Chain A
């Protein structure tokens, strides 16, 4: 394996917390192995900062395998960096050149309040899940394979939508900070399957309603979300969400409760 070390200059957004003003600060990442991941490079920079008694750069991360959805920030304006279908933890320094100048910014959206530096609060996405990103029936133990017949195409589409890791890159990349791709992925992954069909209308109404209440913008279908998505979630999901929401809005029936005289 040909190992090569490079130097890159980082211009990083530093902000102590929501209340204080943030600003960019430059750091030199020296002698970085091209086999290092982007986060390992930041680890090295942080080691140096800590040894100098300075505050290390805060960034979210967990599995570092591209599957948990914790990491993510903007590198030169692109969510998760320049590569497609990649989380920033799976982005390696071999994709950069010696002497590169990299601007690191946190996800920016009114619905994602600043926590610190490159870390933002993405619980708005959790609250969207909370109002409809589930099925209420008890599905019991894992059923026998093919006990419930599901067309292969539906299973494939549902699975593709289910690969969304909720990292928030779609919101960060969207010029409107819209959460349409995220919300629609969740709506699709449940709605395409028979167990999720029962609540398909209620789910669309609740999740779209919550998405709007959280202050995410509208979808302009620029496609930036899908292009930045580490899991390549398709825009077709947004179309399905719009369709479900429209159908649900015009066919909404009143719920009958006990004691209503029925």
Chain B
């Protein structure tokens, strides 16, 4: 078991597994947040329902923090090992058909940006200003108000756009590679897997991007 984790192949399984947890979570996160496009109240009620269910909330948080820590630690070890394995750098990198894709070549870089983004994102929203509102007689956190406040600033929207596009690239390569790392690649469905990563990335990143853009256009510009 220990030698499995120490091996390059084992670390890749761990990367894939922890990545899979996050890839699954962000789909739900994106889909749920789409309610901001419906109405601030709908969004607040949805958010309140989540934080009221302590088992779901803490269970998810523990799984996510655990997966993130494992993912980052493995990534640090692997990146360090991979740099050492390369040794002397090339004067010229592969190009044309023999080159690695942008997404796969820069996983560590967009991964690092995404990590910073996650921390700042939590500071901004989860641990941000606490407004309150009452919907149908229930007092709850008015997260929608904070969202509108934040995404009325063009720079905040721009930063989210950059981070989410990078997340898209990270997912394109990540989701596809899970199949490879887990040993689930098979000639018959290799082309489908190749596309699945890209489609998943476009759906998740596209869905997320629509939210700050919608808020900015409807609230800040209209106001």
Contacts and interface: CB of A to CB of B under 8 A. Distances in A.
A246 B86 CA distance: 25
Given A175-B86, A221-B104, A227-B99, 20 more contacts: A13-B91, A78-B94, A103-B91, A177-B86, A177-B87, A178-B82, A208-B7, A215-B85, A217-B8, A218-B12, A227-B97, A227-B98, A235-B185, A236-B187, A236-B190, A239-B184, A245-B10, A246-B4, A246-B13, A249-B1
B59 interface: no
Contact of B185 (A108, A236, A246): A236
Contacts of B8: 178, 180, 208, 211-212, 216-219
B12 A235 contact: no
B90 A212 contact: no
B222 interface: no
A185 B94 CA distance: 22
B182 interface: yes
Interface in B82-128: 82, 84-101, 104-105, 107
Size range of the chain A interface in the assembly:
35 or more
Interface string B189-219: 0100000000000000000000000000000
A190 B94 CA distance: 31
A242 B87 CA distance: 25
Interface of B: 1, 3-4, 6-13, 78, 81-82, 84-101, 104-105, 107, 173, 176-177, 179-187, 190
A158 to B, nearest CB: 13
A249 B4 contact: yes
A176 B100 CA distance: 11
A218 B187 CA distance: 22
Nearest to B95: A77
A223 interface: yes
Given A103-B91, A105-B90, A224-B100, A243 B183 contact: yes
A133 B76 CA distance: 31
A241 B9 contact: yes
A223 B104 contact: yes
A108 B90 CA distance: 7
Contact of B85 (A217, A239, A240): A217
A208 B98 contact: no
A44 B98 CA distance: 28
A222 B86 contact: no
A211 B81 CA distance: 13
Contact of A108 (B87, B97, B101): B87
Contacts of B89: 108
A56 interface: no
